[in-house]
Structure 1
């Protein structure tokens, strides 16, 4: 292209390119979204930009770069499959048409504060950083399969419009980012798709707003992050799907608001997560699915998930904040899968790990009571008897109380009516309390039971005391054994 064919603005751009000089047409009251009203004095043709990027030369000893600010780019900027060896910075610019960078290879791309109808850059290769900071893009941003050697910046970008369309507004599926994905303050009207993507560093979605009513706000299946996902004060309207993803560090949803009324608000099944933080988060509006996931720590108050849950197969190391076991049991009763024994075992194990055996027994007792509801009527009757007498063996103090009560009953009964001696004249003196103890305690022998024989109803009382003694004494011994083993 001959320089004589260029407009004054294009000539400035062409002359600045070989020395990486900036050309800045910005004014104080600029709004790139209304850049279609900018005059010819700050307009460059897309075909001229393309010719410069593909054929422009640097001066000796200089590094060429395109650095434009505050211009309107008219026409279609088509760099499909192109290789651009210089850095591109089109800052606060207005694109009349959607730029096409499908399959392109660029050194660095900075479109910060610009307005673009959409962006078609699937499978792009960026040797450095890709910046879309503060961009306004009402259409789809296609970055599926992109490979970015540096970081991707989407901080405070506005994507889509209210109402959105059916297709994802941001496509980063199968993308590879070798640094951070930085998107605090991102506003997306439509689905954000990260399925299969890999981010070597951290992901930041602090203060982001993701909206896809009746749909999926964040689709991130099999998403791999090198460290942490920070999403403090994140607000989502629509499902968050993290199924099969890996977060070795922390998912921080402190102060977040997740909402999908009548649907799944958070699906994090089959995930591997270091820590899940929901401190000070709003109650989640919708179902939470954590099936088969593995976590080291869950920091969430029970009030965070007031709706239905699915936690079959969920494993975790510890829970925070520290709360009585009774506060956490209600969540297990709302599992959509019904009675899930594994959920109770996990909760009991978490309390045992911190040395709270009373909390672990509370969970185990609740498990037996929940299991009782799945049994036949006659088995439920026996369950009620076990619960009332010994708390299914998890309330040994209750068994001791029953032993003392039976001791008092037996002592009173046999004080009023002494049993007959087996061998008169050779038997020891009768003591009603010791005789009752001899009946109740299955191992200790005080010699009273063998020396005296009751008759009639008192004999049936003796049988009852012997049977009850076996059951209750065994329960007390089991409770003591558990305490000794823990120590």
Structure 2
């Protein structure tokens, strides 16, 4: 068989030596520009292409290998290993001008190797691992720290038994994990400080489960497009979803049922209103499913609704934030007491009309005390005026001059003391209303 003509040669299960493939690529000038193209071959020996520079494509479709394929620092035009069955593909620092395919591959690195190692590899185009099974009993099934791609990274329908690690990766297009089922001890999907120029799609059947820590952890990443979690799911005892300090250039699609476990959102920023969850679901998420109180997620949500012109929702968010601060925040004893007072009276400054209701209630109690005591001698209307004059901070009538209080009786003394107390309360509620109306008691700790 002449493998130099660039035609796809079907070996029909026959053997080809690993050394023959290497020799052809080392002397790549003899190859057709279409490169070396083999189908359904059994590779004998270890295919070691470390440091081989061959500006030609290498295509090994539906082949099997007995030993890991080594591509450390190899430089090729393109690489297609779709359908490969092998222990592992070890390709750190590999350089490809165009694309890398590993569609439908079956790799099992066992206890010795990652199933696929693309650490610091550079691919000029896209990387497609659609439908691959990446198994390993090491820490990572896919080790792609600082991977660089010029276009999309496809992990659709991938199955793993260890972490997919993308720390520091730079993806020139989308990161598409639709339909993937990822399992890991530490994290199922980990992409700390990634940079994705397009969108991150953890949707449409995506599943990530961590046995010990976090299901999805992409803390500190920069995503130019959307983060889409629609019809996906993640689970982890420490955190199902960790998106702390993630910066999105576009919208966030986060349904309430995505995370089975705590969610870390502090520092997450996005454009527009968050999608796929109601405001009630978001407030429940922030108050009950985050590990600790944080101001920023509430501020981000309030700013999004403020920009959309939803003033009533903004007030709801701010009140919910203050309630969460009271429940989980670090407040002093006096600070907590003041928070309770402002919450009950003016809705933490966002519902100042509540203080007016308390003021009206105080006036009603004052009137009831005066009318019910029998110790104030004047007409009913004058007794009401006396009660208003005694309790209201700004209401003054001449009823005091016409009404007499029998201060020598117990009921008369009770009226005098009660009106003093009610006057203090009325002044307090009036002051809280003014402070709430002017925003003096609003805080965003």
Residue 450 of structure 1: how far off its partner (Å): 11
Among residues 212, 231, 235, which one is paired with 2:181 in the alignment? 235
Counterpart in the other structure of 1:121:
71
Residue aligning to 2:276: 321
How has the CA–CA distance of structure 1 residues 150 and 448 changed in structure 2, closer, same or farther, with 3 Å as cutoff? same
Structure 1 residues 56 and 87, CA gap change in structure 2 (3 angstroms): closer
1:391 alignment partner in structure 2: 347
Shift in alpha-carbon separation, 1:447–1:114, aligned structure 2, 3 A: same
Q: Deviations over 1:391-432 (max 9, x none)?
A: 2122334333323323433444566789999xxxxxxx9694
Distance 1:136 1:409, change over 3 A: same
Which residue number in structure 2 is paired with residue 279 of structure 1? 230
Could you list the runs of 5+ residues in structure 1 that have no partner in the other structure? 1-12, 27-31, 33-41, 59-63, 66-84, 422-428, 483-487
Cα displacement string for residues 406-462 of structure 1 (whole angstroms, at most 9, x for unaligned residues)? 3433444566789999xxxxxxx96946983996576xxx65389879982334433
Q: Confirm whether residue 185 of structure 1 aligns to residue 136 of structure 2.
A: no
The CA deviation at 1:105 is 1.5
Distance of 1:225 and 1:237 partners within structure 2: 22
Q: Are 1:264 and 2:232 counterparts?
A: no
Q: Which sections of structure 2, spanning at least 5 residues, go unmatched?
A: 406-415
Could you say if the C-alpha distance between residues 199 and 272 of structure 1 is closer, same or farther in structure 2, counting changes exceeding 3 Å? Answer: same
Q: Classify 1:437/1:369 alpha carbon distance in 2 versus 1 (closer, same or farther; 3 Å).
A: farther
Q: How has the CA–CA distance of structure 1 residues 463 and 25 changed in structure 2, closer, same or farther, with 3 Å as cutoff? A: closer
Moved more, 48-57 or 279-288: 48-57
How far off is 1:25 after superposition?
A: 4.2
2:155 corresponds to which of 205, 209, 216: 205
Q: What's the CA shift for 1:23?
A: 4.5
> Aligned partners of 1:371, 1:359: CA distance in 2, in Å?
18
Q: 1:407 to 1:53 in 2, by over 3 A?
A: closer
Taking the aligned partners of 1:332 and 1:152, their CA distance within structure 2 comes to: 44
Q: Please, what TM-score do these two structures have when normalized by structure 2? A: 0.80
- 1:276-303 C-alpha deviation (Å, 9 max, x unpaired): 1111113423413222221242211222
Larger Rg: 1
Does the C-alpha gap of structure 1 residues 17 and 372 become closer, same or farther in structure 2, counting only changes over 3 Å? closer
Mark the CA change 1:354 to 1:125 in structure 2 (over 3 Å): closer, same or farther: same
1:163-182 correspondence to structure 2 within 5 Å:
164-182=110-128
Cα distance per residue 1:220-248 (max 9 Å; x no partner): 11111112111111111111210000113
Which one scores higher on RCO, CA 8 angstroms, separation ≥ 6? 2
RMSD over aligned Cα atoms: 3.4
The structural deviation recorded for 1:345 is 2.2
The partner residue of 1:468 within 420, 426, 429 is: 429
The number of aligned residues is: 409
Equivalent residue number for residue 368 of structure 1: 322
CA distance in 2, matches of 1:437, 1:393: 28
